[in-house]
Structure formats: structure tokens, C-alpha cells
Structure 1
Amino acid sequence: MITPARKSVVFDFDGTIADSFGISLTVGNQLAQEYGIDPVTPEKLERWRHMSSHDILKEVNLPLLQLPIMLHRFKAALQAEINNFPFILGMRETILELWDQDYILGVVTSNSAENVQQFLNHQGMGHLFEFVESCPYYMGKQHVLKRIARQHQLDRQQMIYVGDETRDVDAAKKFQVQSVAVTWGFNSPTTLSDRQPDHLIDHPRELLKIAAQIN
């Protein structure tokens, strides 16, 4: 008898699972000063929430050769603070219920895999996730989704990717899996809606209904 493929729910981390924004902003502005980049003010932040990830990256105007180095330093600096990140309200319970229902759970993130695994272990939930993978670039998560689907034998027709930024929606669309955009993270609901995700949700528990409808 052929065993039916298990459905999978793959998450972004920052702004989707964990409320990392305040700490990340502080760390990011400290690095910006070192690199001679203007700090992120509340006014700039509000404007960025209504812009695509690609347009934000262009506005920052950091030389491409420096971007990987800065991102590496940013992830390293976050490690000291990772255990202070709180869960998004309702996300812990939603993840536990998805796991109880035998969904494969994973993370594809621009943060480091070590940071995310440390956070999950600290929360007593590291064993719930089959994989935690880091994307080495600011854009291009679709390539990591493709690789983990192959490595873990995931059926893209029974897979959803959950994230809070336009680049998460873009990655899901390019890899041709269902995209779930969440309104509690970085990009504004209107900006996410303009990207035409398959689903736009306001609370983690809405994931349970969406996951149940995966064919």
C-alpha cells in the first residue's frame, strides 16, 4: 500500500513565528551606523511597510558585496538576544495543534538556522520541526524551498509557505506552493494583498483551517 504524502506547513521566522522586530531594529541600526547607512526612523519604517522587499533593498543602497557581510553580522548579533524574542500571540498553540495533527513543520528563514533552532529549543519546541533552513540571501527563498522539498520528499501540492513580507509571497509563487501572508508582521496588509497571496490572515489560528484544506 502506498502511504499518502503528509501535508507540510513551512514558516518564515522573524515577524511570523516570533515578534523579533524591536530587537532586530535596535541591532540593525547599530550596524547601520558602522556601515555609514542612515538609521531606520519611525517615519522611514512606516513608509517601508508599504513597499516591496525589493524596493526597500534598492533604497538602502548598500553595495551588493557588503550585503552578505552585513547580514552575517546581523544574524550573529541577534544570537545574544534570540531567547528574548516572544512568540506571536497564538502562534505557539497553533504550531502545537498542527504538530498534533501530523503536519510536517519546517522553517525557511533569512535569520540563521542556529538562531531559530536556539529559539525553538529554548521554548521547548525544537523537536516539533523537521527542518530549519537559512536562506543565505535577502531574496531568493524559493531556491531553499525547492531544495528542502527535494531533501525531505515534500509534495509542493500539499505544502504552504507562511510569511509576513512580500518576498515570502514572491518565493511561494515562484516555487508554486500556496502562499499565506500574515498581517501581524512587517509589511502592511494592503501591500501584502497587492502581491495576491493565496491567503491573507489576521491570526495564527486561521492557519488550521487553511492547512486542513490542502489537497
Structure 2
Amino acid sequence: MTIKNILIDLDGTLTDPKTGIHGSIRYALEKLDQPLANDVDLDWTIGPPLKASLAKLLDTQDDDLAEQALAAYRERFSVTGLFENEVYPNVEVTLRQLQAQGYRLFLATAKPTIYAKQILVHFQLDQYFTEIYGSELTGERTNKADLIAYILEKEQLDAQQCIMVGDRQYDVIGARANQIETIAVNYGYGTVEELIQAQPVTQIAQFNELLECVNEINVERKVS
């Protein structure tokens, strides 16, 4: 079957959220009297569920402490951090072209839906998406496999007519758990080694390569 529906990640795929996420993490840990050194690498926190990342930074298995850190993170992120963000080159024009060619676009992010919607509206990208899907503030659907399963069910989509676009192994693994392959963008926060191990169907170096890539996959599917 040809691809009709494209599920797209947000952080590291459509936008670079580094400044806002890093600043909000540092704010949270400082509020808990466990400030981070300036040279601590935080890039790995972009993509996976945030609460687990905060627990790792705190070196704790105390769920209450991780919840406190998450609440402190959101204090800053919900007001300031979510707008400390930058759209990657060619994203808007590519989304417009994909929509014009009849593809249905769905945002699929582990970020809470309430923040994802605000970000897309802020950058005027929401108009290109059939629907915006993220996690709940309670932590539901932060796992990519659960999120994608939820999207398929809610939208009554055929997995064989879908493809996922993302930058981390979580996107590839979560999509594959739902019988969907992934096009990985290699300009985001997934390492070279991580993406080699995850084995997406292909990789693109710029977002504007996506249209041609999807069209080529559809041609191959029709031939086979």
C-alpha cells in the first residue's frame, strides 16, 4: 500500500528546542538545590520521556522527587521555555507541499499536547496538520509506541499507509512496534550510532528531502 499518512515528531525534527529545554532543566534542578555544572551535556534529554531523564540527572529512583523536578521544569517551560525554540530550515514550505500533494500529516510527539499545540500555533505550522498528538501532563503516552498506537486507533489509520518521521531511536522503535517504518532526520538529536542501530528505512539530511523521499517510497511500492 502507498503512504497516505505521515506521522511527524516535533523536537529535533521540526524545531530545535535546545535552548528552552536545557534552560528549564537547569532551572528545575537549581530549584531542588541540585544545580548542574555548566559543562554537563543535556542534549540526550531531547526526545525521551522527560521525567525519566530528570530522575537520571538527579541520580534518584524516588518518584516523588522526579515529580517535583518535572513540576519545577514546567514552571519555566510553560511560560518561557516552549518559545525558546527555532524552526529548522525548509520545514514550513515542505509541510505545505506535502499537504498540497494530499498527504495527511499528524504530529506525534512525546511532549505534552498542550505545549505542542502552542508551539505549532506560535510558528504558524498548525495549519498543515490534520491533528496534533502528544502526551498527557499525567505522563500517559510519553512512550512513542503507545502514542502511535493511540493515533492509529483514534484516526482509524492503516499502518501500511503510514510512515513516521523523527530524529531519535524512540521514533523508529515506537513506529516499528506498530508495523510502521521510519524516515530518520539526521540533523536532530539522534547520534549516528543510535540511528544505525535503530535502522530506519532511510535517513535525510534536510527536512525538504522528505517530499521526494516519500514519493520515491510510494513509487517503489507501486512497482513491487
Q: TM-score w.r.t. structure 1 length?
A: 0.81
Superposed, 1:50-61 pairs within 5 Å as 57=53, 59-60=56-57, 61=59
One-letter code of the match for 1:33?
E
2:41 corresponding residue in structure 1? 44
Aligned pairs, number: 208
2:13 aligned partner = 16
Question: Which digits, 9 at most, give the CA deviation of each residue in 1:22-65, with x for residues without a partner?
Answer: 2211111111223455627545347x49xx959x8485334362
**What does residue range 18-33 of structure 1 map to in structure 2 within 5 Å?**
18-33=15-30
* 1:123 paired residue number: 123
Deviates more, 1:22-31 or 1:67-76: 67-76
Q: Between 147-156 and 77-86, report the one with greater CA deviation.
A: 77-86
* Whole-Å separation in 2 of the counterparts to 1:6 and 1:163: 16
Q: Distance in 2 between matches of 1:172 and 1:107?
A: 13
**Range 93-102 or range 36-45, more displaced:** 36-45
TM superposition shift of 1:79: 2.9
**Matching residue's letter, 1:202:** A
The question of 1:79 aligning with 2:78 is answered yes
Give the match for residue 208 of structure 1: 211
CA distance in 2: counterparts of 1:68 and 1:197, whole angstroms: 33
Letter of the aligned partner of 1:77 in structure 2?
R
Residue 202 of structure 1: how far off its partner (Å): 0.7
Inter-partner Cα distance in structure 2 for 1:73 and 1:180: 34
Q: Which residue of 1 aligns with 2:168?
A: 165
1:53-112 superposed Cα distances (whole Å, 9 cap, x missing partner): 59x848533436244554455345323233442211111111111111111111111222
Contact 1:8 1:160 in 2 (8 A): yes
Q: 2:191 aligns with which of 188, 207, 212?
A: 188
For the residue of structure 2 that corresponds to 1:110, the secondary structure is strand
Identical-residue share of aligned pairs (%): 21
* Gap runs ≥5 in structure 1: none
Rounded Cα–Cα distance in structure 1 between residues aligned with 2:3 and 2:183 = 19
Structure 2 segments unaligned to the other structure (5+ residues): none
Instruction: Please give the alpha-carbon distance, in whole angstroms, between the structure 1 residues aligned to 2:160 and 2:62.
Output: 34
CA distance in 1, matches of 2:71, 2:115: 12
Change (3 A) 1:134 1:62: farther
Q: TM-score under structure 2 normalisation?
A: 0.78
